[in-house]
Amino acid sequence: MPFYFIFAVIAVVISVFVIRTAKRNKEINQNGIETFAVVTRVKKNESVDSDGFVSVSTLFYVTYQTQDGQTVEAQLASGKSIDNRIGRAWDDDLHEGSRVRIKYLPAKPNYVIRLSED
């Protein structure tokens, strides 16, 4: 019985995270401000599971200036661009110094979404 409870709690936590992210992405898509940012840091996280499988995730941090002149460093949300028009992996072309088009919410400037470069 405890296994099912733990599984249910994990499922609820994941569901809440996915729903919050989807709502935030929708809000930023509808009300966000477009600007350009520069990738200032790339952080690779490596983990090894009990079977020896190595998993690597990459976090990209960008710096940009808001409309009111504030300089912000934020983690670039992972996944496809918000408009899903990047034909390759969303981060294939990212490295320190890369210039990317983003969207952010003035009230939440630390959350940014990459836009395609069309």
Looking from the CA of 35 toward its CB, the CA atoms found within 13 Å total: 20
Average pLDDT rounded to a whole number, residues 74-99: 66
pLDDT at 13: 76
pLDDT tens-digit readout, 2-36: 777 787 777 777 777 667 767 777 887 888 899 99
Strands (DSSP E) contained in 1-118 are 33-48, 54-65, 71-76, 99-105, 108-114
Q: Give the span between the Cα atoms of 55 and 46, in whole angstroms.
A: 6
Q: Which residue has the higher pLDDT, 25 or 68?
A: 68
Task: With a cut of 50, say whether residue 109 has pLDDT above it.
Answer: yes
